[in-house]
Structure 1
């Protein structure tokens, strides 16, 4: 009977459907939470401080962000009909809307206006999701490779900032102690990855963060004294900061932000699909975007903001090789618990930022490397793909190397293109349309940047050459300065047959 049951076991047809033991799923899920924790608490910290909230109210925003992020992660990775891409994607508060939310606060609307704008924009995104998903047809490898590479490159400043301490106003920001702690964590990740034990290698990020934190404690660079401050258990209260208000200008601005986050989420879905090596079609993207937008719509009810897929966790999937979406679902459950148990959240928050920076260097670099691997599959011979890649990558790097580049542009333009990911995605899609879809007007070898194939000479051609022969002006000249006729293959064969007869 047991053998029959064993025979009925079905191997998952998709890599992401693999189920691991509960213990391993929770451990790997915790690794995902630690990887994105700094990013998910950054937005409520910034917005809460700008809104003039006291520390207790900021803690409410953080707990709400964790609670909604956890629920959104479970919805995205586990999935229900029409909602969720069923891919190992971690959801959290989008950083793309920070500037817009700060502008709404500066306009006097307060948090209720921010929450009202997020709610309406989320509903608009929910309606647009299936139409937006059709862009899959405009994302061939030359586009997805650019976008994935840009995701990794745009995250590197985040890792560097973490490695320096995370707080630019702190006295020890950029100190050798902070950078040294980050470097130690980085080296530990590499050493553990080298270990011949697969389980240790896959947990290299989590173990390195733990070891880095222990070292920081020994050196007095970690502070867990605040863990006991505040309540141990707290359930997010709906509309804790008052009922939302609706301002037209705020809604329009936030709708643009939602379009940007949908672009980023689409890019992340394509990226993780490439890494997991699973099929991603327009329907799957639509389901993922609907989960994204439903979470964004519900978020303001529980005092949080627009949700999006976290790019840094895409790198974790690539570096660990753990492709199971249920692992990420376990991470979502952990986030839900952290949102309900602020004391546990405070423990995780006490992990020194430089430790996260050291791990982030490997994670984010892995994302960029995955994009480069995709670009290696692109055909560059006799077409303009090299121009598409070069221009799109450069365009995506502009807001990274020069953050103030778009400051004097219209607000809506800056909102879209201030994100390097969105900039690269828009440029790559447009250039692919111009050069690869709308081929009218394209000419062979129309640019000096058109890639050419490798040069080669057949062995039989070399056998026909003699010492002293050389090419000049397209002619073959022998050692005596006389031109050697270049005959077509059939003429050469006829000449050879005549000599033999």
Structure 2
């Protein structure tokens, strides 16, 4: 009898714990993929309320720190808080426009009013999560696949903007860096094996950055100016102030955030092979709400799932939640020691853009894979997907399309993911199932 055990690990791959070198490199890879997204909202908000460079640095550190706490809560879980899936959480851009509106109306204590509204929004999500989680029955494959596809497609313009460094036209050097990075990621994915193929994105980012250095495209000013230690003390930017109008505005935002988080959780469940149940969704939304409420203490903002990291999970097949938990630890360190964040910020935007093209595209591919589970023999499903994709692409194709609408409607409509999601759910309820039932009945009646 052989002394070698053939018993397989009964744990789901999501619950597997890779060796610590893989945890560390995988965590850094996730942070590299989402770093630009988590620092962008505080940059915009801080500039709008007139923070000094030093205070702005603290605001960014606060967003990184709270994103790390939110990610740890979401991946590891505490009681009924946390989906326990490889989900990275960070500051949502959906709240930026309403926050700027609130700041404009309360110039004297803008951040205090913002934090009061955000705290109320977080508590609302915690309380409303069990009811919102019952909506999973309204997300059959035809709806889920459409939403996942929209997530990927809506992120692709972000990658293109990174290639051009947020300018109208890309420079030759930017195109070169993006192209080399894209090719490097594809080559590493194709020809490396095992763990090394799973960190192909990180290797591609390193390759692109090394090429950018002699070209003078690496900005080291952030690293030089960043303080070594800079954790934000509680209520550093002011205690929460509760204003009814501001709270109502933020509650609308949190409904949109919940819809997007629902789509992200459903997408991630499909990708990792652990379908998202009503309980998982409720636990994930509760974690979003608690993280949002707690973030106001340390100077952060509303938290939600980062879709680009879902694409990374799909691309690398590193589905362990502990790898993403490691990224949460990295984010906490970046928030507490801003100088380490300066190292991550060395990656030029065109390099991020090159990697983002394949990263975000992989999310869309996951959506197409889910759509394959729906039957397109029925015209209802074709209409649902066609109309929902069309509505979801409107704000992506023409960003200012809804600028004349009320602010409350803009919050929903300016998010292609939310607009497309609502459209898909409503169309599926209105005629999707009815058409299928009618078609089936017709087929049965024709049988001799």
Instruction: Report the number of matched residues.
Output: 439
In the other structure, the counterpart of 2:283 is 287
**Offset at residue 380 of structure 1 (A):** 1.5
Unaligned runs of 5+ in 1: 446-451, 453-489, 491-501
Residue 254 of structure 1 is matched in structure 2 by 250
1:300 alignment counterpart: 296
What is aligned with 2:314?
A: 318
Aligned partner (choices 50, 53, 65) of residue 52 of structure 1: 50
TM-superposed CA distance for 1:349, in Å, is 1.3
Distance 1:12 1:127 in 2: 35
* Aligned residue in 2 for 1:145: 145
Check the 8 A contact 2:58/2:231 in 1, yes or no: no
The 8 Å contact of residues 112 and 242 in structure 1, kept in 2 or not, is answered as yes
Aligned to 2:134: 134
Three-state SS of the structure 2 residue aligned to 1:81 is coil
Q: Which residue of 2 aligns with 1:88?
A: 86
- Match of 2:263? 267
Residue aligning to 2:30: 32
Compared CA separation, residues 334 and 196, structure 1 to 2 (3 A): closer
Q: Which residue of 1 aligns with 2:161?
A: 161
How far residue 8 of structure 1 moved from its aligned partner, in angstroms, is: 11
Are the aligned partners of 1:121 and 1:258 in contact in 2 as well (CA < 8 Å)? yes
The one of 402, 406, 410 aligned to 2:406: 410
Please give the alpha-carbon distance, in whole angstroms, between the structure 1 residues aligned to 2:182 and 2:59. Answer: 31
Give the aligned partner of residue 471 of structure 1: none
Match of 2:67 among 55, 66, 69: 69
Question: Could you tell me how far 1:10 is from its partner in structure 2?
Answer: 6.5
Cα distance, 1:350 vs structure 2? 2.1
Aligned to 1:356: 352
Deviation at 1:14, TM superposition (A): 2.1
Change (3 A) 1:196 1:214: closer
Superposition misfits of 4+ residues, deviation over 6 angstroms? none
> Alignment partner of 1:280: what SS?
coil
| Residue of structure 2 aligned with 1:331, choices 324, 327, 332 | 327
Deviation at 1:25, TM superposition (A): 0.8
* 1:211-267 deviation line (CA, Å, top 9, x unaligned): 111111111110224413242012221111111211111111111111111111111
Query: What does residue 42 of structure 1 align with?
Result: 40
Q: 1:340 to 1:142 in 2, by over 3 A?
A: same
- Partners of 1:433 and 1:254 in 2: how far apart? 28
Q: Is the partner of 2:228 in helix, strand or coil?
A: coil
Partner Cα separation in structure 2 for residue 79 and residue 9 of structure 1: 28
Alignment of 1:99-498 (within 5 A): 99-109=97-107, 110-166=110-166, 168=167, 174-437=170-433, 439=434, 444=439
Deviations 1:198-218 (A, max 9, x none): 222211100110111111111
What value does the CA root-mean-square deviation take over the aligned residues? 2.0
How many Å apart are 1:274 and its aligned residue? 0.4
Give, in angstroms, the shift of residue 441 of structure 1: 11
Query: Structure 2 length normalisation: TM-score?
Result: 0.94
Deviations 1:424-474 (A, max 9, x none): 11011111111234x2897549xxxxxx9xxxxxxxxxxxxxxxxxxxxxx
Q: Which has the higher contact order (CA 8 A, sep 6+)?
A: 2
State the SS of the aligned residue for 1:308.
strand
Separation (CA, whole Å) in 2 of partners of 1:319 and 1:66: 24
TM-score by length of 1: 0.84
